[in-house]
Amino acid sequence: MSELNANFHGNYEGGFIDLSARKRIESLLDNGSMRELLTPFDRLTSPWLEKQGIVPQFDDGVVIARGKLDNKAVVVAAIEGGFQGGSLGEVGGAKIAGLLELAIEENRKGNPTAAVLMLETGGVRLQEANLGLAAIAEIQSAIVELRQYQPVIAVVTGPVGCFGGMSITAGLCSYLIITREGRLGLNGPQVIEQEAGVEEYDSRDRGLIWGLTGGTQRFASGLVDAFVDDDVSALSTSVRDCLGQGVPALHRSDDISAPLTRLQQFDTREQIDAQRARQALTEGKTA
């Protein structure tokens, strides 16, 4: 099982985006500390995809593990964006929810355990709609409980980005780290185009899409905490920094009255662009 955990010599260099979900976890954790839970050899595939004629994957596109970061206990989950668009179904969703509940259990027992979530996902897997939604709800309530004890750190590097219900999940985390290539948004570009019309939102206009939902914009708008290069060591440093900061005094998701007011005052009659969106989200903000 060398690809799973045995042969890591701490020699990852270069880009993070090109790594598989499993290697992303391995590259982050302290050398040799990764222990994958419910590995592909447990054969926990989606029971629903096959019924719909879709080839499953042995880990259902989600890798979960325990390990150490600077010798501190953590749990880490990574979604494989290349498998079914990183969509979350029953099995993959339950793996993440169960992992977070395990961390909560450890904290209750007096063993501080933080969490890192690497989110490359379009959100709910449409083929497993209700079960995926239920799993995401479980993940979210677990994050809200766990973040009282220890930081829950979300990482969105691309290439998929983080959309749908999982963008709300990212918003609930104690800290959110993004790259220039990463994107964060409730609805994906094609969904918005379909609903609002191509004149308003052209999903093929990459400048527009990244301008509004890309990492640079999300960082400038104060919706994420750290902006890093697509680089294994930069990302690793950033995650360790967040971990070192401990539980934030005020979680972003508990601090919504000011942003809500700003959104309510926003004039939607005019087409929005990146500059106006940034202004609307940061106006009058002190921090």
Partner 1 sequence: METLQFTRPAQAARIQPALVGYVGSGDLEVMVEPLQGSQAEIHIQTSTPGSEIRWRQVIEQIEARIALPAMRMDIHDFAATPGVIRLRIEQAIELASAMEAQA
**In the complex, minimum distance from the CB of residue 283 to partner 1, in angstroms, rounded to a whole number:** 42
Residue 227: other Cβ atoms inside 10 A: 16
Q: How far apart are CA 2 and CA 187, in angstroms?
A: 38
Residue type, position 122, single letter: G
Count of residues that interact with partner 1, criterion CB under 8 A: 19
Contacting residue, 44, 56, 225, 238, with partner 1 by CB under 8 A:
56
**In the complex, minimum distance from the CB of residue 83 to partner 1, in angstroms, rounded to a whole number:** 5
Residue type, position 59, single letter: D
Alpha helices in the chain (DSSP H): 21-28, 90-108, 129-149, 165-172, 189-196, 206-213, 215-220, 232-245, 257-264, 274-282
Residue 198 near residue 176, CB atoms below 8 Å: no
Three-point CA angle 12, 14, 17, nearest 5°: 100
Of the candidate spans 80-88, 120-128, 133-141, 243-251, the one that interacts with partner 1 by CB under 8 A turns out to be 80-88
Residue 108 near residue 102, CB atoms below 8 Å: no
Contacting residue, 10, 18, 54, 273, with partner 1 by CB under 8 A:
54
- Binding flag, residue 110, partner 1 (CB under 8 A): no
Residue that is written with structure tokens 């985006």 in the block: 17
Beta bridge partners of 183: 214
Strand 184-185 with 226-228, pairing:
unpaired
- Binding flag, residue 80, partner 1 (CB under 8 A): yes
Q: How far apart are CA 69 and CA 243, in angstroms?
A: 9
CB nearer to partner 1: give 60 or 106: 60
Of the candidate spans 23-31, 51-59, 95-103, 169-177, the one that interacts with partner 1 by CB under 8 A turns out to be 51-59
Residue 148 near residue 107, CB atoms below 8 Å: no
**In the complex, minimum distance from the CB of residue 40 to partner 1, in angstroms, rounded to a whole number:** 5
- Binding flag, residue 47, partner 1 (CB under 8 A): no
CB nearer to partner 1: give 17 or 239: 17
- Binding flag, residue 3, partner 1 (CB under 8 A): yes
Q: Which of residues 121-180 bind partner 1 (CB under 8 A)?
A: none
Binding to partner 1 by CB under 8 A, coded x per residue (else -) over 9-38, reads -----------x------------------
- Binding flag, residue 83, partner 1 (CB under 8 A): yes
Contacting residue, 50, 70, 195, 254, with partner 1 by CB under 8 A:
50
**Interface ranges with partner 1 (CB under 8 A):** 1-4, 20, 40-41, 50, 53-58, 61, 80, 82-84
